[in-house]
Amino acid sequence: MADIPQSAEELQAQAAGRILLVGNPNVGKSVLFNLLTGRYATVSNYPGTTVEMARGRLRGRGQRPEVIDTPGINSLVPVSVDELVTRELVL
């Protein structure tokens, strides 16, 4: 059963939706997250830089969906904790 929003802020956040940035390691997900949210997620030129999720809100006015930067994955059949975290978000 879905969680029932407890406040106006939670209801607004739920209505705005969610954007998941999912893809292979080292393809620019964190760079895109930084541009969309104005927040800073670590960016490096090697796989495995994002080891946990980063969350922010889409910049702008009106409804601002939550943007989630996920660890890079090579498959939805997880072989690492990073891939398991991303898989659970997607499914």
| Bridge partners (DSSP) listed for residue 19 | 67
Q: Considering only CA atoms, which of 85, 68, 87 is closest in space to residue 76?
A: 87
Let me know if 50 is exposed, middle or buried by CB neighbors in 10 A (0-12, 13-18, 19+): buried
pTM as predicted: 0.73
| The CATH number of domain 17-90 is 3.30.565.10 | no
Q: Considering only CA atoms, which of 51, 32, 30 is closest in space to residue 41?
A: 30
- DSSP assignment of 42-71: ---SSTT---S-EEEE-SSSS---EEEE--
| pLDDT tens track for 16-75 | 789 999 999 889 998 899 999 998 877 665 665 656 788 999 998 878 899 999 888 888
Q: What is the pLDDT of residue 41?
A: 75
Q: Which residue has the higher pLDDT, 33 or 90?
A: 33
